[in-house]
């Protein structure tokens, strides 16, 4: 495995040399953030990021995310042009040594939480999700913590209405169409696509969500067998779905898991959860079991400690402060080393 750390570019409050000081850190996971969704990422922007990483002696082999335009997800006529742009972005990234692109196919919203600063008794805080709070939210005046409110109220309402016409099956077909359109660019550039699961893994506001568990992956690989079609195995997202057996899935898909987001959650109700420190003992997911299954399955991809808490009075970007993610990396490094040596 290659240990990595998410870095939000030059505007991130965490300097690259701090990241480099975390033991075993091979590289950062980053993105071009100032290109509107659907536009080609130009080489000058990619090369600037690449240079900064190189100067800090960190690889830039994973991009999270190249966002997918809603017209592609909805199968609108403009999708062919947008897919061609996406393919060009892939080729451009390939020129700078990128090996893996994390993306998602969630309609309208990315991950959803209801509180970004849930205080624990020990004074730390973290992200949490309460299903009732979310379902009680009026979509006409939607202000959710965390996701980028890039739509006006009118745009959002017309998007939500347009999605009412789109079934899970159609959304899945649109994903397959998109993947088939970009696979030649991936073959050419040697880049693996790694779809992020829906977070949390169930429908939201009547919007279909399709990457939620084992069945989704079986269907995805059957529809697009190309090896560049792979997944980001996010324990926190998949783990919120109580029927997902994480270690079993990690082993089953190990050769398609190009990127692993490892983090912990603790359930507070059937569909409610709070994010906790990474260790297995800190929550309800078997992080040790997942790492063991990955190693057993021959996983050779990138790993990053996912969402950390804010600890030691850090006021970091929710989920993406320095300290707790660094502790997470250290813990995960230890697990991998012990398990890899044990299995030799
Ligand atoms: C949240 C992240 C997601 C992820 C995207 C990938 O912290 O895991 O926002 O980056 O879903 O496209």
Q: Which of these, 302, 339, 318, lies nearest to 58 by C-alpha position?
A: 302
Decide whether any atom of ligand 1 lies within 6 Å of the 286 Cβ.
no
Say how many Å lie between the CA of residue 306 and the centre of ligand 1.
Answer: 10
Contacts 24+ apart (CB under 8 A), 23-28: 23/329, 23/330, 23/333, 24/329, 24/333, 25/58, 25/329, 26/2, 26/58, 26/59, 27/2, 27/53, 27/58, 27/59, 27/60, 27/61, 27/62, 27/302, 28/4, 28/53, 28/58, 28/59, 28/60, 28/62
CA 60, CA 290: separation in Å to the nearest integer? 25
Number of domains making up the chain: 1
- What's the confidence (pLDDT) of residue 279? 98
Strand partners, 62: 29, 100
- What's the confidence (pLDDT) of residue 138? 72
Q: Is 306 a catalytic site residue?
A: yes
- What's the confidence (pLDDT) of residue 151? 75
- What's the confidence (pLDDT) of residue 44? 98
Average pLDDT over residues 154-180: 93
CA 129, CA 203: separation in Å to the nearest integer? 14
Average pLDDT over residues 307-318: 96
pLDDT in tens, 129-139: 999 988 877 77
- What's the confidence (pLDDT) of residue 217? 98
The catalytic residue among 234, 272, 324, 331 is 234
| % of the chain surpassing 90 pLDDT | 89
Q: Which atom of ligand 1 is nearest to the CA of 232?
A: 6
Confidence check: pLDDT of 163 > 60? yes
Q: Is 12 a catalytic site residue?
A: no
- What's the confidence (pLDDT) of residue 148? 55
Secondary structure of the chain as H, E, C letters? CEEEEECCHHHCCCCHHHHHCCCCCCEEEECCCCCCCCCCCCHHHHHHHHHHHHHCCCEEEEEECCCCCHHHHHCCCCHHHHHHHHHHHHHHHHCCCCCEEEECCCCCCCCCCCEEEEECCCCCEEEEECHHHHHCCCHHHCCCCCCCCCCCHHHHHHHHHHHHCCCHHHHHHHHHHHHHHHHHHHHHHCCEEEECCCCCCCCECCECCCCCCHHHHHHHHHHCCCCCEEEEEEHHHHHCCCCCCHHHHHHHCHHHEEEEEECEEEECCCCCEEEECCCHHHCCCCHHHHHHHHHHCCCCCEEEECCCCECCCCCCCCCCCCHHHHHHHHHHHHHHHHHHHHHC
The pLDDT confidence band at residue 179, using thresholds 50, 70 and 90, is very high
Retrieve residue 187's tokens: 């073959």
Average pLDDT over residues 34-51: 97
Average pLDDT over residues 49-66: 98
Q: Is 234 a catalytic site residue?
A: yes
Which range, of 5-19, 24-38, 124-138, 271-285, averages the lowest pLDDT?
A: 124-138
Retrieve residue 56's tokens: 């800090």
Decide whether any atom of ligand 1 lies within 6 Å of the 110 Cβ.
yes
- Compare 23 and 151 and report the one with higher pLDDT: 23
Q: Is 261 a catalytic site residue?
A: yes
The whole-chain average pLDDT of the chain stands at 95
Confidence check: pLDDT of 144 > 70? no
Decide whether any atom of ligand 1 lies within 6 Å of the 262 Cβ.
no
pLDDT in tens, 181-199: 999 999 999 999 999 999 9
Q: Is 143 a catalytic site residue?
A: no
The pLDDT confidence band at residue 156, using thresholds 50, 70 and 90, is confident
Say how many Å lie between the CA of residue 127 and the centre of ligand 1.
Answer: 14
pLDDT in tens, 101-128: 999 999 998 999 999 999 999 999 999 9
The catalytic residue among 198, 272, 286, 306 is 306
The catalytic residue among 50, 196, 228, 278 is 196
- What's the confidence (pLDDT) of residue 53? 98
Which range, of 4-18, 78-92, 144-158, averages the lowest pLDDT?
A: 144-158
Decide whether any atom of ligand 1 lies within 6 Å of the 71 Cβ.
no
Cut 0.95: pTM above it: yes
- Compare 155 and 15 and report the one with higher pLDDT: 15
The pLDDT confidence band at residue 143, using thresholds 50, 70 and 90, is low
Average pLDDT over residues 276-280: 98
Decide whether any atom of ligand 1 lies within 6 Å of the 103 Cβ.
yes
Domain hosting residue 133, numbered range: 2-342
- What's the confidence (pLDDT) of residue 48? 98
CATH number (domain holding residue 297)? 3.20.20.150
């Amino acid at each position: 495995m290659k240990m990595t750390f998410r870095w939000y570019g030059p505007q991130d409050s965490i300097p690259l040399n701090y990241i480099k000081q975390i033991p075993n850190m091979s590289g950062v996971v980053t993105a071009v953030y100032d290109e509107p969704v659907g536009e080609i990422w130009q080489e000058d922007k990619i090369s600037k990021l690449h240079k900064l990483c190189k100067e800090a002696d960190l690889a830039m082999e994973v991009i999270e995310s190249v966002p997918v335009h809603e017209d592609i997800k909805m199968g609108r006529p403009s999708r062919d042009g947008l897919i061609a742009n996406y393919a060009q972005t892939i080729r451009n990234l390939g020129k700078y040594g990128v090996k893996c692109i994390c993306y998602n196919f969630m309609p309208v919203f990315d991950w959803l939480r209801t509180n970004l600063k849930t205080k624990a008794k020990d004074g730390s805080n973290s992200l949490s999700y309460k299903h009732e709070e979310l379902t009680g939210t009026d979509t006409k005046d939607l202000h959710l913590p965390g996701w980028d409110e890039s739509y006006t109220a009118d745009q959002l309402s017309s998007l939500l209405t347009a999605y009412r016409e789109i079934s899970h099956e159609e959304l899945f077909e649109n994903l397959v169409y998109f993947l088939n359109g970009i696979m030649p660019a991936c073959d050419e550039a040697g880049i693996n696509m790694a779809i992020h699961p829906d977070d949390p893994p169930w429908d939201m506001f009547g919007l279909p969500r399709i990457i939620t568990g084992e069945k989704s992956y079986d269907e995805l690989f059957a529809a697009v067998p190309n090896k560049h079609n792979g997944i980001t195995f996010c324990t926190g997202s998949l783990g919120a779905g109580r029927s997902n057996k994480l270690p079993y899935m990690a082993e089953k898909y190990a050769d398609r898991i190009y990127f692993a987001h490892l983090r912990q959650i603790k359930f507070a109700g059937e569909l409610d959860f709070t994010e906790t420190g990474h260790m297995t003992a800190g929550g309800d997911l078997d992080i040790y079991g997942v790492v063991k299954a990955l190693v057993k399955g021959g996983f050779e991809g990138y790993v990053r400690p996912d969402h950390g808490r804010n600890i030691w009075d850090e006021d970091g970007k929710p989920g993406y402060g320095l300290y707790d993610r660094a502790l997470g990396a250290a813990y995960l490094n230890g697990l991998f080393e012990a398990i890899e040596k044990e299995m030799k």
